[in-house]
């Protein structure tokens, strides 16, 4: 049985993944603001460093896998979304990489989102600031966006950037070359506390309700946790840098011909 780190383990899909892995006999080291083995704030550099140290220590330096599920969405503040969803995710995965490599065959799942492909006009300079690790610049850019859309731009931009970061890292020597498989799951709406907060918001609720959903049913957290469990299983060893959309057909409906794209 393996040892897995899960950020965002106290709620929603992180908690559902935790339940599945524990039911299968694995050990989970949860990372969250509360109700977790490692309580740390992934919005701050200190919190990220504390989380990495605590997880690596608890795991004895060897991890069989990790799930990066901690995240915030509107109506949370744009700055906070940027700090947690991109910089918190990347710092955690980079910090855990040596322990993942130590297992020889680790598997990692990062939570992206279909917002990464369906949100129009994401500023290139924001995505570049994320990918170049310029945290202050990214925060400044999202703070300057029109207040009504700042949180959406921060969220979708972070998900686009973290997905690109994963694809770049996944196929590189330190990751694939160290036996680590890194993949992204990109959900559409999933019934979790995060989505309920979006839907209850008077600005963002109607925006979310207006998105065309070919499969007119919202999955629960455990349904997505089954995907994560599969992506951590031996059968997924040949997926590397892949992005799995589980979004009720929203991306296909809006962008059917946009990808795959030939070289």
- Give the C-alpha separation, 43 to 49, whole Å: 11
- For the bound state, the minimum distance from the C-beta of residue 177 to ligand NAI, rounded and expressed in Å, comes to 27
Whose Cβ is closer to ligand NAI: residue 113's or residue 183's? 113
Q: Binding to ligand NAI by residue 250, rule CB under 6 A?
A: no
Q: Is 130 a catalytic residue?
A: no
- Among 3, 4, 11, 67, contact with ligand NAI (rule: CB under 6 A): 11
Q: And the tokens for 8? A: 């965002």
- For the bound state, the minimum distance from the C-beta of residue 194 to ligand NAI, rounded and expressed in Å, comes to 3
Which among 10-18, 94-102, 128-136, 175-183 is the span making contact with ligand NAI, rule CB under 6 A? 10-18
Whose Cβ is closer to ligand NAI: residue 31's or residue 101's? 31
**Interface characters, 65-84, with ligand NAI (x: CB under 6 A):** ----xxxxx----------x
- Give the C-alpha separation, 42 to 46, whole Å: 8
Residues 6+ apart with CB under 8 A from 166: 93, 110, 112, 182, 183, 184, 241
Whose Cβ is closer to ligand NAI: residue 6's or residue 59's? 6
Q: Binding to ligand NAI by residue 91, rule CB under 6 A?
A: no
Which among 55-63, 64-72, 140-148, 169-177 is the span making contact with ligand NAI, rule CB under 6 A? 64-72
Scanning residues 133 to 192, which ones bind ligand NAI (CB under 6 A)? Answer: 187, 189-190, 192
Note whether 7 and 67 are within 8 A (CB).
yes
Q: Binding to ligand NAI by residue 194, rule CB under 6 A?
A: yes
Q: CA-based diameter of the chain, in Å?
A: 49
Which among 36-44, 97-105, 119-127, 142-150 is the span making contact with ligand NAI, rule CB under 6 A? 36-44
Whose Cβ is closer to ligand NAI: residue 70's or residue 138's? 70
Q: Chain centroid to CA 58: how far?
A: 22
Whose Cβ is closer to ligand NAI: residue 42's or residue 127's? 42
- Among 86, 111, 130, 244, contact with ligand NAI (rule: CB under 6 A): 111
- For the bound state, the minimum distance from the C-beta of residue 41 to ligand NAI, rounded and expressed in Å, comes to 5
Which stretches of the chain bind ligand NAI, using CB under 6 A?
8, 10-14, 32-33, 41-43, 69-73, 84, 111, 113, 187, 189-190, 192-195
Residues involved in catalysis? 155
């Amino acid at each position: 049985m393996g040892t897995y780190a899960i950020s965002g383990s106290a709620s929603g899909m992180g908690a559902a993944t935790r339940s599945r892995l524990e039911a299968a006999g694995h050990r989970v080291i949860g990372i969250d603001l509360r109700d977790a083995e490692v309580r740390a704030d992934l919005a701050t550099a200190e919190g990220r460093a504390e989380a990495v140290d605590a997880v690596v220590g608890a795991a004895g330096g060897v991890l069989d896998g990790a799930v990066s599920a901690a995240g915030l969405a509107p109506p949370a503040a744009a700055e906070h979304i940027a700090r947690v969803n991109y910089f918190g995710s990347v710092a955690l995965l980079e910090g855990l990489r040596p322990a993942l490599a130590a297992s020889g065959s680790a598997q990692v799942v990062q939570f992206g989102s279909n917002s990464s492909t369906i949100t129009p006009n994401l500023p290139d300079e924001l995505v570049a600031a994320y990918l170049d690790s310029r945290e202050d610049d990214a925060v400044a850019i999202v703070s300057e966006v029109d207040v009504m859309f700042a949180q959406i731009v921060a969220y979708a931009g972070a998900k686009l950037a973290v997905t690109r970061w994963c694809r770049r890292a996944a196929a590189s020597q330190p990751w694939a070359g160290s036996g680590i498989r890194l993949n992204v799951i990109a959900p559409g709406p999933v019934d979790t506390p995060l989505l309920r907060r979006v839907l209850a918001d008077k600005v963002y609720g109607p925006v979310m309700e207006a998105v065309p959903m070919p499969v007119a049913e919202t999955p629960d957290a455990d349904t997505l946790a089954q995907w994560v469990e599969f992506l951590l299983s031996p059968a997924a060893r040949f997926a590397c840098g892949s992005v799995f959309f589980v979004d009720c057909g929203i991306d296909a409906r809006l962008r059917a011909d946009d990808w795959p794209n030939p070289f």
